[in-house]
Amino acid sequence: MTNEWNARSLDTQRFAELAGALSLRTPLAALGRVLEVSGGAPLQPLEPVCDWSLAGQSRGTATRLQHWIHLQAVLSLPQICQRCLEPMPVTVGVDRWFRFVDDEATALAQDDDCEEDLLVRSAEFDAFELLEDELLLAMPLIISHEDCRPPASPLLVDDLPHPFAALAGLKTAEP
């Protein structure tokens, strides 16, 4: 049986119960919030593409059934190194499991006691929003090459006299 899933309006319970699977390639331009904060210079003529997948899973017994989704994503973003100011690619990856609960109150009550991330079950869940949230969280705070040197400052290479150099000439020799 083949199921067509809509990542913009996903029935999370049904997706998990049927062990649904999605595998998508989304251009960076379609991920507006990620594009906005990336602010990098283009490295190539091709637009970056995010390869991502969702897999649904049900766990537990009939009396205590839990619904899960597994999100995996990889995106290579063009960025600017904060040290040398040259363009560089930054690979952002996501590999996370999420468990669905009935409502926000349940999520808040269980959040401190569990290691997994909790989401509220929905019949119209937008997986693109989850993807964008997770990519934004996975982005590094400081963008820099492993080994680079900052560009030389033109102020350090000039031939102008230094302001306190003349004071050295005023210094009298001790008798």
Which range, 2-16, 40-54, 152-166, has the best average confidence (pLDDT)? 2-16
- What pTM was estimated for this model as a whole? 0.75
How far is 10 from 158, CA to CA, in rounded Å? Answer: 62
pLDDT range class, residue 2, cuts 50, 70, 90: very low
- Edge-to-edge strand ranges of the sheet holding 66-80: 21-27, 49-59, 66-80, 87-101, 117-120
Residue 2 lies in a domain: no
Query: Which residues make Cβ contacts (< 8 Å) with residue 143, sequence separation at least 6?
Result: 79, 80, 81, 82, 88, 90
Model confidence pLDDT, tens digit, residues 23-59: 999 998 888 898 888 765 554 556 889 999 999 999 8
Query: Which residues make Cβ contacts (< 8 Å) with residue 167, sequence separation at least 6?
Result: none
Residue 6 lies in a domain: no
Q: What is the mean pLDDT of residues 3-28?
A: 89
Residue 104 has pLDDT above 60, yes or no: yes
Residue 33 lies in a domain: yes
Residue 134 lies in a domain: yes
- How many distinct structural domains can be found in the chain? 1
Instruction: Provide the token pair at 158.
Output: 């000039």
Residue 7 lies in a domain: no
pLDDT range class, residue 22, cuts 50, 70, 90: very high
How far is 69 from 58, CA to CA, in rounded Å? Answer: 9
How far is 13 from 111, CA to CA, in rounded Å? Answer: 20
Model confidence pLDDT, tens digit, residues 108-139: 777 667 777 788 888 889 999 999 999 999 99
Which range, 14-23, 77-86, 100-109, has the best average confidence (pLDDT)? 14-23
Residue 108 lies in a domain: yes
Q: What is the mean pLDDT of residues 48-76?
A: 90
Question: How would you class 50 by CB atoms within 10 Å of its CB: exposed for 0-12, middle for 13-18, buried for 19 or more?
Answer: buried
Residue 162 lies in a domain: yes
For residue 125, give its domain range: 12-170
Residue 148 lies in a domain: yes
